[in-house]
Structure 1
Amino acid sequence: MKSAKKLLLLIALGSSISLLGCTAQKSQATDSVSKPQVTAAANQELSVDKAASDMRDIVKNIKDEIANKEDDKVAESSTKLQDSWKTFEDKFEEDLKDKYLDLYVKIEDPLGIIEAAAKVKPLDTKVLNKSLDNLDTQLAKLQNDNATTIGLENMKSILKELSGEITNKEDAKIVKTSEGLEKNWSSFEDGIKKNYPSIYEKVEQPLGTIQAAVKVTPLDTKVLDTSIVELDKVLEELQKSIAFSSGPQDMKTALTKIKKFISPLNEEKVTKYSDRLEKYWSSFEDEVKEKNKPLYEKVEAPLGTIQAAVKVKPIDEKVIKTASDSLDKTLTEIQNMK
């Protein structure tokens, strides 16, 4: 009897494992988009990815409804799209503006057109489709940029963890921890290879050394330590290069917002966007200073004027506007730097 019970238990257990295996395979098959490995600090950014993905699904539905001439459904889905964006904003607005201000505005623009166009009868399908395609492009860029931000932060965090494990001689943990480097790198490396090919190669070399070194017994901690330091420096260089590429435009967008809120005056908004100017500048100012010190000084002067002017009460609108115009021109020069 015990043997029979044991046999039945094994059969049931085997069936459960098979079912779980099928479920896992099905889940893997439906998830065609690679996701960055997540650390606790990256949960918020991953939610940004999910929110963007949900909006892109609605965009696809609207395009299908337009193709099928389902005008009433288009209006309804447009409302869902706006509601989805509102939920997105309620949770992540400040975070998005701090990290991707220009992209944030580029998402808002087609959204406004879609909202208005969906209410017009008959539908202007050309305008709608163009705006939907534009919105989808910007949301996809947000997902890619966000994956890069998360991936870089995770990789630097993993390197720090590896260094600690080497110091503490926790050899058993080192192999497993190092696997996270490649998992994160694979989630965004294609974009880096395309846009920053020289830095891509500089990442690959120490990363490959680390992957090989952790498999050697006993561990060559000297090689590992050297490669960890090297990779960390390259990742920092990559972060600065990305900031140098996107930062000037984010600053120009912040200036546009400052000019908008300076007249009529919205003191809170002007102050907030002024703070963002400094935040963006701090992310790539060293690059500018190294490449072109006179241009660096040309930024510092009007930026300092704006920072000082917003602290004066009442705010001197004329001073801020003049300094903003000057800074905007200098940022264009930075964008044109080779």
Structure 2
Amino acid sequence: MKSLKTLIITITLGTTLLLAGCGVQKSEQADPETNPQTTAEEKKPLSIDDASQNMRNLLKDMKTQLANKEEAKISEGGTQLEETWKQFEDKFEDDLKDKYLDLYVKIEDPLEIIEAGAKVKPLDTNVLNTSIDKLDKELVELQKRNATTMGLENMRSALKEMSNQLNSKEEYKAIKTSDKLEENWKLFEDGIKDSYKDLYEKVEGPLGTIQAAVKVKPLDTKVLTTSIDQLDKSLEQIQESIAFSSGPQNMQTALKKINKYISPLNEEKVAKYTERLEKYWSNFEDAVKEKNTDLYEKVEAPLGIIQAGVKVKPIDTKTITTAIEGLDKVLTEIQNIK
């Protein structure tokens, strides 16, 4: 009898433990924290490239719907596009305006046409198709430019990291960090090769040396350090050249916005775009000063007038408008500097 009781207790305990084990197993399976893939996907932050691609996917669907004459879906797609752009702006508006104002405005124009055109019946297929193609083209350009911006920043960050690791004699880490250089360079090197051939060659040389040197044991720290410095200077030159190319366009776009908000007057908008003028100018003013001192002075004068003019109450719109016209002409001259 005693052994029977013992047997029953043993079976009961065994069943309880088995059920508890199953419960734990199910709980573990259901817990997203134990699934690295789910966690990685949830934690992956939305990037400018992702946001651009989301919009491009919507545009592709709208093109198909237009071809199939699905008016109801087109209207819904226009609403989705508007909502997606709002989310895009909420997260990246400052980045877009600080780095790519000219593109930002070029995106807004066809986007507004699509949003309005998708609500009109019957649909104007030609207008919508043209605007969809134009918007897609600008989003592709945004993806390319941002890949270059981020690639350059990531490469220079990796070089700094490598330099610190070599100084600390963490050779294994330096070798691993060197992989980031080629990974990022591949993302935008074709664009640099097309637009800045001389600078492209200046990158390829030290980058190739670094790639070869990290495979040699022991590491030649002197060769690596020299090549890291050379590569960083070349990448900085590319950043300066891009700023010199895009800066005048961004400033001219900001001037158009100031003009727009002067009449009728929107003081807040005028002040914000005036602040951006100085940001853009600071990115390439040294290069202008080095290349052409006279043009540098021609920018400084009207820019100073605009900056002072927006602080006066009431705003002197006439003086600002005159200064805008003068500054716009000088910026066109800068664009023609070789």
TM-score under structure 2 normalisation? Answer: 0.85
Whole-Å Cα distance in 2 between the matches of residues 93 and 171 of structure 1?
A: 41
Residues 327-338 of structure 1 aligned to structure 2 (within 5 Å): 327-338=327-338
Residues 70-219 of structure 1 aligned to structure 2 (within 5 Å): 70-219=70-219
Whole-Å Cα distance in 1 between the matches of residues 125 and 198 of structure 2?
A: 43
Q: Which amino acid aligns with 2:115?
A: E
Moved more, 143-152 or 282-291: 282-291
Deviation at 1:297, TM superposition (A): 1.1
Whole-Å Cα distance in 2 between the matches of residues 286 and 186 of structure 1?
A: 29
Query: Which ranges in structure 2 are unaligned for 5 or more consecutive residues?
Result: 1-36, 38-42
Whole-Å Cα distance in 1 between the matches of residues 151 and 212 of structure 2?
A: 21
Whole-Å Cα distance in 2 between the matches of residues 204 and 182 of structure 1?
A: 10
Counterpart in 2 of 1:326?
326
Deviation at 1:216, TM superposition (A): 1.4
CA-based RMSD: 1.5
Local SS of the residue matching 1:66: helix
Which of the two has higher C-alpha Rg? 2
Whole-Å Cα distance in 2 between the matches of residues 180 and 216 of structure 1?
A: 18
Deviation at 1:230, TM superposition (A): 0.7
Deviation at 1:147, TM superposition (A): 0.9
Local SS of the residue matching 1:187: helix
Whole-Å Cα distance in 1 between the matches of residues 285 and 72 of structure 2?
A: 51
Counterpart in 2 of 1:291?
291
TM-score under structure 1 normalisation? Answer: 0.85
Deviation at 1:319, TM superposition (A): 1.4
Moved more, 206-215 or 55-64: 206-215
Counterpart in 2 of 1:32?
none
Give per-residue Cα distances to partners, 1:259-295, cap 9 Å, x unaligned.
Answer: 1111222221111111110111111112211221111
Query: Which ranges in structure 1 are unaligned for 5 or more consecutive residues?
Result: 1-23, 25-39
Aligned residues: 297
Counterpart in 2 of 1:309?
309
Local SS of the residue matching 2:314: coil
Deviation at 1:121, TM superposition (A): 2.1
Local SS of the residue matching 1:63: helix
Give per-residue Cα distances to partners, 1:133-176, cap 9 Å, x unaligned.
Answer: 00000111111111111111111111110110111111111110
Local SS of the residue matching 1:188: helix
Counterpart in 1 of 2:258?
258
Counterpart in 2 of 1:30?
none
Q: Which amino acid aligns with 2:271?
A: T
Give per-residue Cα distances to partners, 1:53-100, cap 9 Å, x unaligned.
Answer: 000000000000011111221111111111111111112112211111
Indicate the structure whose relative CO is greater, using CA pairs within 8 Å and at least 6 residues apart.
1
Whole-Å Cα distance in 2 between the matches of residues 289 and 333 of structure 1?
A: 13
